[in-house]
């Protein structure tokens, strides 16, 4: 289900963009209104339904570009490598084509790629320490206090708002004391970043909720994470920023009109990129 942004190699008319938007919005509205049990069923088939109704979706028309994939993996490694050690266990939620997860296999002892459905190429060469795990979006049959590093990129914004805290509780349970969750997503203040961007100032497609640093700091604190670090992260450049500075910048940018936010956002707040740490005394 969860997948990173992919390059589009075709230009679509406004009519085709609107068809994509209205189709995705209708499915997303069903998901937003659904009960937890019903959500599981919708999430398993939502992309199949979307692609069947929108055959010119960029993920279907984009040409496979190995060089682009390598660049994306290298950029994510710039964010992750400081946390990786040879004896560790690593989890990526929403691994897409698993390019990053497989690259991490050479740096750690064991890797789990976790998603609600498997989207990897059957011919993909998988290292012995690589494991793909299909889960229901809520629970994961792995022991608590067993994982050293958890990572997700452009996944959290796809979660139902009622389920986001559950996801963080799951990660907190899995992490060893003192271990970290590294995550990255588009920033809410210059979104939306899904197809609704062309027609709305609010995310209405498969980005069920876009987030700010402040919202994620509050959520992490409520779940029990003891420390959080914020980063300016774009194009593989990763700069640690004081949390007070990032939160102040958010307040300032949040007061600006939407058009100005969209112009400044990619430079001032290019993403919500954070590391949250489980208390080492747990």
> pLDDT digits over 156-172, tens only?
999 999 999 999 999 99
> 53 pLDDT band (50/70/90 cuts)?
very high
77 exposure class (CB count in 10 Å sphere: 0-12, 13-18, 19+): middle
> 282 pLDDT band (50/70/90 cuts)?
low
pLDDT of the residue at 5: 39
For residue 225, the SS3 value is: strand
Angle between helices 36-53 and 14-33 (to 10 degrees): 170
- Percentage with pLDDT > 90 across the chain: 79
Residue 162 · residue 192 · CB < 8 Å: no
> 199 pLDDT band (50/70/90 cuts)?
very high
pLDDT of the residue at 271: 96
Task: Copy the structure tokens of residue 68.
Answer: 């682009």
Angle between helices 164-174 and 213-223 (to 10 degrees): 50
pLDDT at residue 2 tops 60: no
pLDDT at residue 42 tops 70: yes
Alpha carbon distances (Å) from 4 to 106, 155, 194: 22, 8, 11
**Least confident segment among 64-68, 152-156, 180-184, 191-195:** 64-68
Name the phi and psi angles at 90, rounded to 5.
-125, 140
Task: Copy the structure tokens of residue 81.
Answer: 């490598």
pLDDT of the residue at 280: 86
- Percentage with pLDDT > 70 across the chain: 94
14-278 architecture in CATH? 3-Layer(aba) Sandwich (3.40)
pLDDT at residue 153 tops 80: yes
Question: 182 pairs with which residues across the strands?
Answer: 151, 275
pLDDT of the residue at 253: 94
> 11 pLDDT band (50/70/90 cuts)?
confident
pLDDT of the residue at 63: 66
Name the phi and psi angles at 153, rounded to 5.
-135, 120
Query: How is residue 211 annotated by DSSP?
Result: B
Question: 232 pairs with which residues across the strands?
Answer: 239
pTM given for the model: 0.92
> Which one is predicted more confidently, 3 or 183?
183
Q: What is the pLDDT of residues 207-264, one digit of tens each?
A: 999 999 999 999 999 999 999 999 999 988 999 999 999 999 999 999 999 999 999 9
**Least confident segment among 63-67, 102-106, 111-115:** 63-67
**Least confident segment among 7-21, 106-120, 134-148:** 7-21
């Amino acid at each position: 289900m969860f997948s990173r942004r992919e390059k589009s190699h075709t230009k679509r008319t406004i009519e085709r963009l609107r068809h994509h938007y209205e189709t995705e919005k209708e499915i997303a509205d069903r998901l937003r209104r659904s009960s937890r049990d019903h959500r599981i069923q919708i999430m398993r088939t939502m992309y199949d339904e979307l692609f069947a109704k929108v055959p010119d979706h960029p993920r279907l028309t984009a040409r496979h570009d190995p060089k682009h994939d390598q660049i994306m993996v290298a950029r994510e490694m710039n964010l992750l490598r400081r946390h990786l050690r040879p004896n560790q266990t690593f989890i990526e939620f929403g691994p897409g084509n698993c390019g990053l997860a497989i690259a991490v296999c050479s740096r750690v002892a064991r890797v789990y790629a976790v998603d609600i459905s498997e989207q990897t190429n059957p011919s993909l060469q998988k290292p012995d320490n690589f494991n793909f795990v299909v889960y229901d979006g809520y629970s994961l049959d792995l022991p608590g206090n067993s994982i050293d590093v958890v990572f997700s990129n452009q996944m959290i914004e796809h979660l139902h708002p009622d389920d986001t805290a559950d996801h963080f509780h799951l990660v907190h349970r899995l992490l060893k004391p003192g271990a970290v969750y590294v995550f990255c997503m588009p920033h809410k203040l210059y979104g939306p970043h899904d197809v609704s961007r062309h027609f709305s100032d609010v995310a209405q497609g498969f980005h069920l909720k876009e987030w700010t640093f402040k919202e994620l700091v509050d959520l992490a604190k409520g779940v029990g994470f003891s420390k959080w670090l914020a980063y300016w992260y774009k194009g593989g450049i990763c700069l640690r920023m004081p949390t007070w500075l990032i939160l102040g910048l958010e307040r300032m940018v949040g007061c600006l009109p939407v058009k100005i936010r969209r112009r400044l956002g990619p430079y001032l707040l290019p993403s919500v990129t954070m590391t949250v740490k489980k208390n080492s005394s747990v």
